Chains A and B, each alone.
Chain A
């Protein structure tokens, strides 16, 4: 089954404790992206990756890191989480961002709470 998986699905952590949210897709997609969703603000792009070893900042990259060492994986790293990073996070992928009509497939989301 074609899918994007994220782990963990739910996480409660404390300020400053480094964490990684994993994202994996089995569709051989080139493009992957991370978003956060907050009430009243909608989905905002954190980072995206056009292919292996190629990443760039979205609209809200502060406090986050990413890496793309393999095509299928795109982990999101919070080196020192803070309460303002409490949010619902989605990973997404698509075949190629140069194909105008390809939409993105989203993972199920990770609900993160930082206390």
Chain B
């Protein structure tokens, strides 16, 4: 079993749609959680840190369920510019090792 697993995708959605990404992690001692966005052939960029109580940044909402070892990202009112690969990232208790999920590709179409 992979340490961090994401929906395989790709997701194809129309503009304005709401889309949800899911991620599960296997190490219950994991400490920190993030969502990154990666455009084709570009470097990953931090989208959001995921707080224990959940957090929102504009159209983006992240949730963490430690009991189920599950992280989610919700994008509301999708834009064409949201088309990218979304990466779920988990850091271990010591904070040193970082595990990336394989990513979920999103295509937003007009």
Interface residues of A (CB under 8 A from B): 31, 33, 35, 40-45, 48, 50, 56, 58-59, 88, 90, 97-98, 100-109
In the complex, whether B109 has a CB less than 8 A from a CB of chain A is no
A-B residue pairs in contact (CB < 8 Å), sample of 9: A42-B103, A43-B44, A59-B97, A88-B41, A100-B32, A101-B49, A106-B44, A107-B43, A108-B42
What is the bound-complex CA distance between A45 and B90, given in angstroms?
Answer: 12
> A56 near B51 (CB under 8 angstroms)?
no
Chain A residues within 8 Å of B94, by CB:
97
Instruction: Count A-B pairs with CB separation below 8 Å.
Output: 58
The answer to whether residues A101 and B43 also contact, given A41-B102, A44-B100, A45-B99 and a CB cut-off of 8 A, is no
What is the bound-complex CA distance between A35 and B36, given in angstroms?
Answer: 15
What is the bound-complex CA distance between A48 and B101, given in angstroms?
Answer: 18
In the complex, whether B31 has a CB less than 8 A from a CB of chain A is yes
Chain B interface secondary structure, helix, strand, loop or mixed? Answer: loop
CB proximity to A under 8 Å, residues B82-110: 87, 91, 94-103
CB distance from A4 to the nearest CB of B (A): 8
Identify which of B34, B95, B102 contacts A97 (C-beta below 8 A). B95
> B102 near A40 (CB under 8 angstroms)?
yes
Chain B residues within 8 Å of A44, by CB:
100
CB distance from A30 to the nearest CB of B (A): 11
Chain A residues within 8 Å of B29, by CB:
none
> A100 near B31 (CB under 8 angstroms)?
yes
The answer to whether residues A90 and B103 also contact, given A45-B98, A56-B96 and a CB cut-off of 8 A, is no
Other 18 A-B pairs with CB < 8 A, given A45-B97, A103-B34: A33-B98, A42-B103, A43-B44, A43-B100, A45-B99, A56-B96, A58-B97, A88-B41, A98-B95, A100-B31, A100-B32, A101-B49, A103-B46, A104-B46, A106-B44, A107-B43, A109-B42, A109-B43
In the complex, whether B66 has a CB less than 8 A from a CB of chain A is no
Chain B residues within 8 Å of A97, by CB:
91, 94-96
CB distance from A51 to the nearest CB of B (A): 11
Chain B residues within 8 Å of A45, by CB:
97-99
